[in-house]
Amino acid sequence: MLWRAVLCAVGVFLTSLVAQAHSAQPARSLVLQFDKSGVVALWHIEVGADQASLLLALYDLNRDGSLSQLESGYLGVGLLAKAVEGVHISGPTGLLEVTHLQPRVVVSPDKRHVELDALANLAGGIEGGEGFVRVEVAASSGSIVTEFRALAPWHLVRCSAIGMDVDASRCAAGVDIRPGAQVTAGVAH
């Protein structure tokens, strides 16, 4: 009788682990850089073991065990949607517009990790000698680690947060913006 209770407890535990693995949010990050050309965003998302194998199986349309260039492109679009989900980036004139996007998918040799890096130019964050970018994460989304950088002639002049405590010096080192919160970084030259 005791062995049945132990077996049942082990079954419940293993089921909860499987559920956690499938519902776990992928690790994602964003670097926003102010430079002489405007604002550049670098999105990064990484999925591990269970999610990677599911995604690779889903996007391997011809089921040959490897991703063609077209299949990799479809996977990149799917991962990009996950990377940007619930993240709103705005500036002085409202939401920033993506003017150029370059995604790149990397699959580890053992196919247990999949990563996406997407570089995008954003219009609308800098006007004249100053500007700002606000990153807001929807309450229904996962958190995102965001880093703000400024290259000459720009420099970071302020960092503020709503919905969380953030030390202004953390903007350059990376801020984990939780769901429902927003962080604003300002620049000037």
For the stretch 15-39, pLDDT in tens is 333 334 444 678 999 999 998 888 9
Q: What's residue 116's pLDDT?
A: 97
For the stretch 5-17, pLDDT in tens is 333 332 333 333 3
Please state, rounded to an integer, the average pLDDT across all residues of the chain. Answer: 84
Q: Looking at this protein, which amino acid is placed at residue 39?
A: V
9 CB-side CA count, 13 A: 6
For the chain, residues with pLDDT lower than 50 are: 1-23
User: Contacts for 55-59 with beta carbons within 8 Å, 24 or more apart?
Assistant: 55/79, 55/114, 56/107, 56/111, 56/114
Which of 144, 136, 172 lies closest to 156 in space, CA to CA? 172
